[in-house]
Amino acid sequence: MAEGSVPAVWRRYPQRYRLVGSKCETCGEFFFPPRIICPNCRRKGKVVEYQFSGRGVVESYTVVHTPPADMEDQAPYVLAIVRLEEGPMLTAQIVDVDPREVKIGMPVRMVFRRISEDGEDGLINYGYKFAPL
């Protein structure tokens, strides 16, 4: 992401703040982040907005000890791939848990948190993290 770009952050609010994705009513597949066109059905697909439940399970996880510069205050943190109960997977931090307790298959739910800070005067980015259910 271009550092400090307001529009680049603003246009992702619905997805990052509320887990708004999309769904193809023709084949039933869910998309997060949302797709405008269904890759299965293409022109025959009917894609509509969909509010994900925010529940999922941990598919894999790691504890990050060497973070990017804008997340140095958070390390070490747990980063995971979460499979949402509707199907799609995403990458997010797991919080409110002892890192040693995180396991593959652990049920989690979305929480709204501060993600990163672009230095003293920069943007503060918010979005989803996940916590034990």
Partner 1 sequence: MRKVAVVGVGMTKFGERWEAGLKELTAEAGIRAIEDAGISGDEVEAVYVGNMSGGRFVGQEHIGALLADAMGLNPVPATRVEAACASGGLAFRQAYLAVASGEFDIVVAGGIEKMTDVLTGQATTTLGGAADQEWETFFGATFPSLYALIARRHMHEFGTTEEQLARVAVKNHYNGARNPFAQYQKEITLDQVLNSSPVAEPLKLLDCSPITDGAAAVVIASEDVAKKLTDTPVWVNASAQASDTLALHDRKSLTTLRATVEAGKKAFQKAGISPRDVDLAEVHDCFTIAEILAVEDLGFVKKGEGGKAVEDGMFDLNSDVSVNTSGGLKACGHPVGATGIKQVVEVTWQLRGEAGKRQVDKAEIGLTHNVGGSGATAVVHILSRYIDLRSRR
* Binding flag, residue 104, partner 1 (CB under 8 A): yes
Between CA 116 and CA 127 the distance in angstroms is: 9
Q: Which helix (H) or strand (E) holds 6?
A: helix 6-10
- Cβ closest to Zn ion, residue 45 vs residue 132: 45
* Binding flag, residue 73, partner 1 (CB under 8 A): no
Between CA 119 and CA 122 the distance in angstroms is: 5
* Binding flag, residue 97, partner 1 (CB under 8 A): no
Between CA 85 and CA 87 the distance in angstroms is: 5
- If binding means CB under 5 A, how many residues of this protein chain bind Zn ion? 7
Least distance to Zn ion, CB of residue 68, Å? 35
* Binding flag, residue 40, Zn ion (CB under 5 A): yes
If contact means CB under 5 to 8 A according to the sort of partner, which of Zn ion, partner 1, none does residue 38 touch? Zn ion
* Binding flag, residue 115, partner 1 (CB under 8 A): yes
Least distance to Zn ion, CB of residue 85, Å? 19
* Binding flag, residue 39, Zn ion (CB under 5 A): no
Sheet strands side by side (includes 20-24):
30-31, 20-24, 47-51
3-state helix, strand, coil in the chain (%, to 5): 15, 40, 40
Q: Which two tokens stand for residue 103?
A: 């396991």
If contact means CB under 5 to 8 A according to the sort of partner, which of partner 1, Zn ion, none does residue 93 touch? partner 1
